[in-house]
Amino acid sequence: MAGDDTLMIAERWVDEGRRLALATVVQTWGSAPRPTGSHLVIDEKGNFEGSVSGGCVEGAVVAEAVEVIETGKPQMLEFGVADETAWEVGLSCGGQIRVFVEPLAK
């Protein structure tokens, strides 16, 4: 799904009264599954649209996003692994990513 589509979904969800967080890939090193600027929108129930990585990384971002919604405090998340364990967390080529998660309000 394109980033613009994810942002349109975020706008619709805000209009529906959902409490949201937006996760954005802000930096990558090496080989990463999603480019800088990729988005994931998450609501307070853990529903999400878009993608920032895949695998366990995406699950960790969703979990952190629910906390960001509750606290209202943005978080900078970093994920990186050695090549031997990369497949397990969704970074198949050993890349690293930095994801900024921020609360969204109307």
End-to-end CA distance of the chain: 23
Structural domain harbouring 81: 3-104
Characterize 22-32 residue by residue with b for buried, 16 or more Cβ atoms within 10 angstroms of its Cβ, and e for exposed: bbbbeebeeeb
Q: Are residues 102 and 41 in contact, defined by beta-carbon separation less than 8 angstroms? A: no
Number of structural domains in the chain: 1
Of residues 27, 50, 29, the one with CA closest to residue 37: 27
What confidence tens digit (pLDDT) does each residue in 28-38 have? 887 777 889 99
d(CA 84, CA 87): 8
Amino acid at 16: E
Q: Is the pLDDT of residue 77 over 50?
A: yes
Prediction pTM value: 0.84
**Residue 86 — very low, low, confident or very high, per pLDDT cuts 50/70/90?**
very low
Of residues 17, 19, 10, the one with CA closest to residue 41: 10
